[in-house]
C-alpha cells in the first residue's frame, strides 16, 4: 500500500481534517522539464478551486522567502537587532521589486541575482535602473 494511503487510514486521529488534495506541478527551465507532486491536508472544507488558490498564495510567499535567502543570503545575516533585521528585509524586498520590474520591462533574460551582480560591476546599468524608478 502506498505511503500516502497508509497515512490516510488514521484520518480520524487528525482533529479538524476536512480535505486532502494533490497538486501536480510541471516546470520548464533551461535545463529541461521537471514534474513534482505535493500533497496537502487542510481543516478547510473548500472547493478544489479555492484550495488551489490558497496553495498558490502560500507558494508566492515561500517563493519570496526563498528569493530573499538565495539572492541576499538573508538566513545568514548576523545582525542581532530585530529592528536591523526588519529594516534590511524591507530594503531587500525593495531591491527585488526594482530589479524584477526592470528585468520584465526591458525583457532581459537574466536572473535577479545575476542582474544585481551586473549592477555592482556596471555603474552605467546601475544608473539606468535608478533613472527608471
Instruction: Encode pLDDT of 32-54 as tens digits.
Output: 899 999 888 889 888 989 999 98
Half-sphere exposure of 77 toward its Cβ, with a 13 Å CA cutoff?
Answer: 19
- The verdict on residue 96 lying in a domain is yes
- The verdict on residue 54 lying in a domain is no
- The verdict on residue 53 lying in a domain is no
Give yes or no: residues 99 and 125 share one domain.
yes
Q: Which domain holds residue 35?
A: 1-45
- The answer for residues whose C-beta is within 8 angstroms of residue 132's C-beta and 6 or more apart is 102, 105
- The answer for residues whose C-beta is within 8 angstroms of residue 125's C-beta and 6 or more apart is 118, 119
| Predicted TM-score (pTM) of this structure | 0.62
Cell of 84: 536591523
- The verdict on residue 120 lying in a domain is yes
For the chain, how many structural domains are there in total?
Answer: 2
SS3 60: helix
- The verdict on residue 112 lying in a domain is yes
Q: Evaluate if residue 119 carries a pLDDT over 60.
A: yes
- The answer for residues whose C-beta is within 8 angstroms of residue 76's C-beta and 6 or more apart is none
Length in residues, the chain:
133
- The verdict on residue 99 lying in a domain is yes
Instruction: Encode pLDDT of 60-93 as tens digits.
Output: 888 889 889 988 888 898 988 999 999 999 999 9
SS3 126: helix
Amino acid at each position: 500500500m502506498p505511503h500516502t494511503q497508509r497515512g490516510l487510514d488514521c484520518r480520524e486521529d487528525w482533529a479538524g481534517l476536512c480535505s486532502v488534495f494533490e497538486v501536480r506541478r510541471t516546470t520548464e527551465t533551461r535545463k529541461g522539464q521537471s514534474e513534482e507532486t505535493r500533497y496537502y491536508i487542510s481543516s478547510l472544507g473548500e472547493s478544489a478551486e479555492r484550495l488551489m488558490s490558497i496553495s498558490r498564495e502560500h507558494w508566492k510567499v515561500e517563493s519570496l522567502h526563498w528569493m530573499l535567502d538565495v539572492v541576499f543570503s538573508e538566513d545568514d545575516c548576523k545582525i542581532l537587532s530585530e529592528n536591523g533585521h526588519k529594516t534590511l528585509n524591507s530594503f531587500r524586498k525593495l531591491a527585488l521589486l526594482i530589479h524584477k520590474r526592470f528585468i520584465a520591462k526591458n525583457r532581459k533574460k537574466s536572473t535577479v541575482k545575476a542582474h544585481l551582480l551586473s549592477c555592482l560591476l556596471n555603474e552605467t546599468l546601475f544608473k539606468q535602473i535608478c533613472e527608471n524608478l
